[in-house]
Amino acid sequence: MDRNIDGLDTGSAHSARIYDYIIGGEDHYPADREAGDAMCREWPALPVHMRANRDFMNRAVRHLAEKAGIRQFLDVGTGIPTSPNIHEIAQSVSPDSRVVYVDNDPLVLRLSQGLLTSTPEGRTSYIEADMRDPASILQAPELRATLDLTRPIALTVIAIVHFMMDEDDAVGIVRRLLDPLPSGSHLAMSIGTAEFAPDEVGKVAREYAARGMPMRLRTFAEAEEFFTGLELVEPGVVQVHKWHPDGTGTEVTRDTDIAMYGVVARKP
């Protein structure tokens, strides 16, 4: 195992760094680039797909801030800071917006300073936690110090549940994170699917699995399960590039290039 000066394992590819490499970031190592290149050989649309996911996140956050009046965000599976980050979008709409970021990758922790560049009126904080232990997120002092749990909060879970296996019970985890949030809170998710390019996406999933990152891709019906009892924001469960496209996003022309459902819903 290669270790850099901070004791970080850089000899194995990691999902956050593969994603950073493919969407054009700067925080990755040779193992991540080797993995990313192998995946793009299997599915050349992978960069388009990943950028479309990030574009969806940006549009969903803007929608939540502008149209739903949300001023508080809990983002689980944040990834390596990539401008614009959620607080930059939310605070461009309302400078007093507050964001709590959560990830379990030590590199994200190391770079988390990039997530803490809040406006003076707002606030951001970072929690190092594993989503599979939702209590560790909900009980973290940073969460209670940053967010007011009596006012609506948007829970954003973007491009992460495909790393949750059936035994992890991703639907139950998301439900537990939503439970303490008040009425008027929202859930925004992107959910990996192989339904539009089964062969190619299946090969990419095998590349991840071969590097110790098994993937659980979901059908439309399985994606819908996350939203039982919530009010779907139009247009409901759609591929990410079809969720409120604004013409500023990635160069998506084909549904077969996108392996992610995007959804925003309101807690009644």
Ligand X SMILES: C[S@@+](CC[C@H](N)C(=O)[O-])C[C@H]1O[C@@H](n2cnc3c(N)ncnc32)[C@H](O)[C@@H]1O
Which has the closest alpha carbon to 258: 235, 238, 230, 233? 238
Question: Which one of the spans 74-82, 176-184, 197-205, 228-236 is the region binding ligand X (CB under 6 A)?
Answer: 74-82
Residues 6+ apart with CB under 8 A from 19: 50, 79, 80, 159
User: Which residues ranging from 162 to 181 are in contact with ligand X (CB under 6 A)?
Assistant: 163
C-beta nearest to ligand X: residue: 79
- For position 119 contacting ligand X by CB under 6 A, the verdict is no
- For position 16 contacting ligand X by CB under 6 A, the verdict is yes
Report CA Rg, the chain. Answer: 17
- For position 79 contacting ligand X by CB under 6 A, the verdict is yes
Question: Which one of the spans 97-105, 116-124, 220-228, 238-246 is the region binding ligand X (CB under 6 A)?
Answer: 97-105
Tokens of 126: 């970072």
Task: Give backbone dihedrals phi and psi of 99, rounded to 5 degrees, phi first.
Answer: -135, 130
| Helix 30-42 with 15-22: angle, nearest 10 deg | 70
Work out how close the CB of 17 gets to ligand X at its nearest, in angstroms, rounded to a whole number. Answer: 8
Question: Which one of the spans 4-12, 32-40, 71-79, 117-125 is the region binding ligand X (CB under 6 A)?
Answer: 71-79
- For position 49 contacting ligand X by CB under 6 A, the verdict is no
- For position 57 contacting ligand X by CB under 6 A, the verdict is yes
Closer to ligand X by CB, 15 or 91: give it: 15
Which has the closest alpha carbon to 155: 181, 131, 130, 187? 187
Using DSSP's 3-state secondary structure scheme, residue 266 falls into strand
| Helix 46-66 with 86-93: angle, nearest 10 deg | 30
Nearest-angstrom CA–CA distance, 233 and 224:
13
The region that residue 176 occupies, defined by phi over 0 for left and psi between -120 and 50 for alpha, beta otherwise, is alpha
Please tell me the count of residues contacting ligand X according to CB under 6 A.
20
Which CA distances in Å does 256 have to 49, 173, 222? 9, 29, 19
- For position 193 contacting ligand X by CB under 6 A, the verdict is no
- For position 53 contacting ligand X by CB under 6 A, the verdict is yes
User: Which residues ranging from 133 to 162 are in contact with ligand X (CB under 6 A)?
Assistant: 158-160
The binder of ligand X chosen from 32, 55, 88, 103 (CB under 6 A): 103
Which CA distances in Å does 259 have to 40, 66, 202? 14, 27, 10
Work out how close the CB of 82 gets to ligand X at its nearest, in angstroms, rounded to a whole number. Answer: 6
Closer to ligand X by CB, 54 or 241: give it: 54
- For position 27 contacting ligand X by CB under 6 A, the verdict is no
The binder of ligand X chosen from 49, 54, 59, 87 (CB under 6 A): 54
Work out how close the CB of 22 gets to ligand X at its nearest, in angstroms, rounded to a whole number. Answer: 9
Which CA distances in Å does 85 have to 108, 155, 170? 13, 15, 24
- For position 10 contacting ligand X by CB under 6 A, the verdict is no
Chain residues that interact with ligand X, rule: CB under 6 A: 15-16, 19, 53-54, 57, 77-79, 103-105, 108, 130-132, 158-160, 163
